[in-house]
Amino acid sequence: MQKESQTKSERVDIQRSVAIQSAHCPNGCDLMTDKVMIHGLKSIAVEIQWQQMRGLIYLDPEFGKYEHVSEIDVPEGVVVEFYCPHCGASLRNGEELCHSCAAPTFALILPNEGQIVGCLRRNCFEHTLKLESLDSMQLQIDDNLLRMIL
């Protein structure tokens, strides 16, 4: 667990923000990357596809922030597909539709913590990905706390 990257003073806020530390595709590929850092944190790289356009999108790992970095520019309102950039598995979550716009959703697996579900409609996932996730994560945290307290 020793990291040698403490030399340059990083601009990581010391605030207690909730950030995704680890996210996997359904086959277990690690989606975190340091190729693109967002808020000084590793981002989550997934392949985004819309019609013939395909590229990588780096999702903001911090809950409540939406500074995603996308290689391709898709129009607002369209529904995209997300794939694992390593094994090509679809990240579409067949079990759930977006609560706000009824578009299909995608899921990222958080080892030991469950999963994050977000909307595949462009301007919806940009604004609701983290909110929905934060809700479910808070619920999970609350549940765990409750269990610990009880």
Based on CB atoms, which residue is closest to Zn ion, 100 or 144? Answer: 100
Cβ at position 121, least distance to Zn ion in Å = 5
Based on CB atoms, which residue is closest to Zn ion, 24 or 41? Answer: 24
Beta bridge pairs of residue 50: 53
E strand or H helix at 7:
none
DSSP letter for each residue of 75-139:
-TT-B-EEE-TTT--B-EEEEEE-TTT--EEEEEEETTTEEEEEE-BHHHHHHHHHHHHHHHHHH
Cβ at position 105, least distance to Zn ion in Å = 8
Token code pair at residue 105 = 């959703």
Based on CB atoms, which residue is closest to Zn ion, 39 or 134? Answer: 134
Catalog residues that contact Zn ion under the rule CB under 5 A. Answer: 25, 27, 29, 84, 86-87, 89, 98, 100-101, 103, 119, 121, 124
Token code pair at residue 78 = 């369209």
Cβ at position 109, least distance to Zn ion in Å = 10
Based on CB atoms, which residue is closest to Zn ion, 39 or 55? Answer: 55
